[in-house]
Amino acid sequence: MSYRLNPYKILRSVAILVVIICLGVLTFNFKKSKETTTNEIKKDVKVREKNFFKSKDYKNNLTLPQKNIEENNKNVINDLKTDDNKTKNINLQDAEKDKDNKKNEDEKKIQEKIKEQQRNNRQELEKQKQKAKEEAARIEKEKAQRAKVESTKGPKKYIQVASVKTEASARSITKKLGGNFYYKKTVVNGKTAYVVMSNMTNDQNKLNSMQKTVKSRYGGSYMVRGTGK
């Protein structure tokens, strides 16, 4: 009986052997890399051993000199003061900022009030102007109406009651005739005279009433005159 080698089995064995060798190399490189990295870290970082509390350094740290303790306390106090100053500065800045903001808001409110007052003043001035304009128009209208009424009544007339030499006589006659009559001083041919007359009117009814008053209270002759006569 002859024995023949199976090439597939030979290749499989070789492959398994290569994989085992590669795994061994990777494991060796990993351990070496880990040790190298650990040694590099130990150069910069002081690793505390398990029995660190038995070392002289630890015991020395527990009994620091008083000077070192005071310096450490001063450093802590200075740090606290620095932080406190920073906090105060921040609070002061915030307070100043709030103060400026409030000042700006107050100024803005004042400006708005001034503008509102100016608007109100302008509106009030416009109202007064309009009112004055309307009043002037009303007065002109009334004047025009009165002028129209007066033009329909004709020219104004008055009654010349008497001309006397003394003021006492003129005053007595005027008193008798009442409020629609008065006297005035005049000069005729170089002589002083006092003329008693009525108020001027273009109302015929009023003129007739004054004539009746002259007839009933004075009794003398009189003249009805117009303006310019």
CATH assignment of 155-226, among 3.90.226.10, 3.30.70.1070, 3.10.105.10, 3.90.1010.10: 3.30.70.1070
Condensed to tens digits (0 to 9), the pLDDT of residues 152-194 reads: 667 889 999 999 999 999 999 999 999 899 999 999 888 999 9
Task: Determine if residue 83 is left, alpha or beta; phi over 0 gives left, psi from -120 to 50 gives alpha, anything else beta.
Answer: alpha
What is the rounded end-to-end Cα distance, in angstroms, of the chain?
186
Q: Are 120 and 113 within 8 A, CB to CB?
A: no
- Whether 228 has a pLDDT exceeding 60, the answer reads no
Q: Specify the pLDDT at position 52.
A: 59
Rounded to whole angstroms, the Cα distance separating 188 from 169 reads: 17
97 or 123, higher pLDDT: 123
- Whether 59 has a pLDDT exceeding 60, the answer reads no
Rounded to whole angstroms, the Cα distance separating 107 from 83 reads: 36
Condensed to tens digits (0 to 9), the pLDDT of residues 2-11 reads: 556 677 777 8
Q: Specify the pLDDT at position 49.
A: 63
pTM of the model: 0.36
Kindly list the domain boundaries of the chain, sorted by start residue: 155-226
